[in-house]
Amino acid sequence: MSFSRYSFWEVVKHAFSKEVWDTIWPAVWDTLYMVALSAVITLVLGVLLGIGLSVISKEGVKPMPILSGTSGTIVNCLRSLPQMIMIIVTLPLARMILGQSYGVNACIIALAASCIPMYARLVQGAFVEIPKGKIEAAKAMGSSSATIVFRVMLPEAIPSIIRGFTVALIGIISMTALAGSFGAGGIGDIAVRFGFNRFYHDMLIASVLVLIIMVEIVQIAGDLISNLILRRRHLI
Amino acid sequence: MSGYIRIEGLHKTFRIKKEKNEVLKGIDLSIEKGDIFGIVGFSGAGKSTLVRCINRLEEPDSGKVWIGDTEITALKKTQLNERRKKIGMIFQQFNLFDSKTVFQNIAYPLKLVKTPKKQIEQKVDKLLELVGLSDKKNAYPGSLSGGQKQRVGIARALANDPDILLSDEATSALDPVSTLSILDLLAKINAELGVTIIMITHELEAAKRICSKVAVLEDGSITECGNTRDIFLDPQSSTGRIFLEVYKEFRDESQFTGGGGI
């Protein structure tokens, strides 16, 4: 249904019809699959990379200037690519690894390459925010560097790390929508193929709705969890 | 020199870009076992840097620090970490771990030396009793007052039975009542456990209340050092005199307003 042929309300009403959602639901599952898988990869590798970056930085627990400079530059290079370019750049890589450059799994490589560096920077930021005195106290008690990182810095930074993860997750959702137009399927694919190419505006409305709800859930859940932790620690 | 803690010719210069700031200009100091040794001076005199050189949170440029027969400044990193476990330290900003409960904070240094769980439980209970916070065992530091936080800090610093306690302006962020109670607690720890305490402070009242010996630090050098009583009665250095004058003025004034009623 297009706005040019039907009235606004008719299109909106049809956006909630069974006909539309029979097409939307499978796409929602595709999107959720992509988001979930990239989210796990981003979380694990992003936290590790973030920890690494902050540990070897100049003010870190174990400064390594050369390695820090090199890895910082690589992260910045990856981050400077717009997500669309990143998808195009990683397509040959996907073909090499998976044997095909389309489909859900192919786009996860692009998602990871784009979101891991972004989340790593957020994790690094969370670590920098820890008051220096706490790390000094841990040092004064004779803690090794690894103990400081995993027993002091990580627990102290958890609320910020969770907050950063909601930002990263929303970034992932928006990028999966974009990846849809590069053969990844999912909600973005529906929005482009039906909503844009064929003027099915009811489908477009439904797709937008799905994305808004996803982002909203992520944001609310992220705020809730990090606030729960902060409240438990009597910090808010 | 014969003290338990000996500092010889300690120099430290901070370099920020091209600007050099010589904070410690050849410090010699000897501290006896079991003393409460005060290091007083104005802000920027180098007190903090000096005390942080003792456990090498700050690396001195030259000079030696000895504790007993161990030359701290010659230790390798792992050896230093081992020795640090027996040097307690408390801070102006308490530096408790917000992510851990009071119990977990005090248990942290015990876990570092792989103490069995049961013993940790017993030890923490004992320490909490010592600092008078048994009812706050499962509270988070965020819910405690400044004085209570410092008590947790002290309990944590004492967990591994250190022979030395370094106090870096431990009472400077506290109100007068908490300050006195923390000072009394430090005196009690010194008397009961025999821990040597090195405390730096800019509050003369604090030094006068519990220190047996005092060194006055002025612009990176020690201008005088001796029994607290002698220095308070007859200060020789300019910092000592200014300090005492300000202190007396403050006391006179507070007596004036205090007794001034209608």
pLDDT of residue B257: 53
Contacts of B160 in chain A (CB under 8 A): 141
pLDDT of residue A180: 84
pLDDT of residue B67: 95
Instruction: Give the domain extent around A219.
Output: 8-232
pLDDT of residue A112: 86
Q: In which residue ranges of chain B is pLDDT below 50?
A: 258-262
Which among A4, A32, A16, A183 is positioned nearest to A100, based on CA atoms?
A183
The arithmetic mean of pLDDT across residues A164-179, rounded, is 92
Backbone phi and psi for residue B214, each to the nearest 5 degrees, phi listed first: -135, 140
Give the number of A-B residue pairs with CB atoms closer than 8 Å: 67
Read off the pLDDT of residues A94-150 as tens digits, 9 standing for 90 and up: 888 888 877 778 888 888 888 999 999 999 999 999 999 999 999 999 999 999 999
Q: Report yes or no on A2 lying in a domain.
A: no
Q: Report yes or no on A15 lying in a domain.
A: yes
- DSSP assignment of B40-106, as one string? E--TTSSHHHHHHHHTTSS--SEEEEEETTEEGGG--HHHHHHHHTTEEEEETT----TTS-HHHHH
Q: Report yes or no on A136 lying in a domain.
A: yes
The arithmetic mean of pLDDT across residues A81-103, rounded, is 85
pLDDT of residue A64: 94
The arithmetic mean of pLDDT across residues A42-55, rounded, is 95
Q: Are strands B196-201 and B164-168 parallel, antiparallel or unpaired?
A: parallel
Domain positions in chain B are: 1-34+41-86+202-256
pLDDT of residue A3: 85
- Nearest residue of chain A to residue B53 (CA atoms): A140
The answer to whether the predicted template modeling score (pTM) of the entire model surpasses 0.80 is: yes
Which among A127, A226, A234 is positioned nearest to A169, based on CA atoms?
A226
pLDDT, averaged across chain A: 92
Helices (H) and strands (E) in chain B, counts: 9, 10
- DSSP assignment of B193-207, as one string? H--EEEEEES-HHHH
Q: How far is CA B65 from the centre of its chain?
A: 17
Helix (H, G, I), strand (E, B) or coil at A61: coil
- Nearest residue of chain B to residue A140 (CA atoms): B84
Write down the residue that tokens 């995993």 correspond to: A150
Q: What CATH code is assigned to B1-34+41-86+202-256?
A: 3.40.50.300
CA distance linking residue B95 with residue B149, whole number of Å: 9
Q: Report yes or no on A117 lying in a domain.
A: yes
What is the ipTM, given to two decimal places? 0.90
Q: Are B28 and B9 in contact (CB under 8 A)?
A: yes
Which among A222, A131, A212, A209 is positioned nearest to A168, based on CA atoms?
A222
pLDDT of residue B262: 43
- DSSP assignment of B87-151, as one string? EEEEETT----TTS-HHHHHHHHHHHTT--HHHHHHHHHHHHHHHT-GGGTT--GGGS-HHHHHH
Q: Report yes or no on A1 lying in a domain.
A: no
In the 8-state DSSP scheme, what is residue A191? I
Nearest CB to A133 within list B91, B100, B139: B91
**DSSP H or E stretch at residue A112:** helix A104-128
pLDDT exceeds cutoff 50 at A184: yes
The pair of three-digit structure tokens given for residue A174, joined into one six-digit string: 């928006």
- Test B93 with A133 for CB contact under 8 angstroms: yes
Q: How far is B124 from chain A (nearest CA, A)?
A: 16
Residues from A in contact with B at Cβ < 8 Å: 131, 133-134, 136-144, 147, 151-152, 155-156, 158, 232-235
Tell me which long-range contacts A194-201 makes (C-beta under 8 A, separation of at least 24).
A194/A23, A199/A2, A199/A3, A199/A4, A200/A1, A200/A2, A201/A1, A201/A2, A201/A3, A201/A11, A201/A15
The angle that helices B117-131 and B102-112 make with each other, rounded to 10 degrees, is 130
Nearest CB to A134 within list B80, B95, B143: B95
CATH of the domain at A157: 1.10.3720.10
